[in-house]
Amino acid sequence: MALAFAGSLGEAWADACRVETIHGGISFPVQHIPDDWTCRLKLVIDHYTTANTLGPLKTAMDASTYFYLLDHPPLAAALINRLDLADYKAEMRGPGRWWGNDGEGTEGIVQLVYQDHAIRIYYLEGTHHSRLLPNVSGKAVVFLRTGTLKEPGGLEAMENTMVAYTMLDNRVLSGLASLLRPLVGATVIRKLRKGVDVVNRLGLEIRQRPERVLFEATDPPSLPDEDVAFLKQALGGKGLPSVSGHSGHATP
């Protein structure tokens, strides 16, 4: 009887924390989300301050490079920063977990909850400081769906759609959600769109100026060996100058 009762409690708990499959008109494999994450995601999704869908938007980057950068945020942020595309920063804080700062008042911890060949699901906790909004803290759930497409010239590009749920932590601000929602929603959309635009510009730099990308990657202090090695492979060696004069450890 005790086992049966415990089993029924487990089923009730699972039902209470079940996350819907469809978000932004897209089906996501939420059944594969680890059980210890479903309740945290559901809290944000069910009590969001804003819900926003962005895309599909194109990124000028082949799949292997895109997914490597997506799975190595410090490398992506370092290249973006060194190429003067934006003032992004990122540091790994554990498996699938990192701290990020967009250089415009928003920073926090991002946790990768689920991934497969086309889907990423993230859970975020962070803060935002600006002149338009009071200082706020909150949580977010981001669903990302990616796919590949061919451009007219035959180059591969990525197509991305994001669905983001944001929930403010501040009780007073949550009570003013109806007034703040348009402003918060516009801020979220602007930051998501900027992120996609910056990555697209990074992809164009990799395509059009590979020598500059490698120079910035190996300019002291050089990026980690494995990242430089990947970049040299991704860039294909076309038009790349010798980097023997740098202190970096580029793979020959």
Reported confidence tier of residue 13, pLDDT bands at 50, 70, 90:
very low
Of 24, 56, 47, 21, nearest to 181 by C-alpha is 47
User: Quick one: CATH architecture of 41-232?
Assistant: 2-Layer Sandwich (3.30)
Reported confidence tier of residue 177, pLDDT bands at 50, 70, 90:
low
pLDDT tens string 210-241: 999 999 999 999 999 999 999 999 987 544 44
d(CA 230, CA 68): 9
CB atoms within 10 A of CB 58: 15
Domain boundary assignment for the chain:
41-232
Residue spans of beta strands (DSSP E) within the chain? 22-23, 26-27, 50-59, 89-94, 97-101, 106-115, 119-128, 136-150, 156-168
What pLDDT is stored for residue 208 in this prediction? 93
pTM score: 0.83
Question: Exposure string (b/e) for 88-103, b if CB count within 10 Å is 16 or more?
Answer: bbbeeeeeeebbbbbe
Token representation of residue 35: 């059980």
Looking up tokens 């009570």, which residue turns up?
175
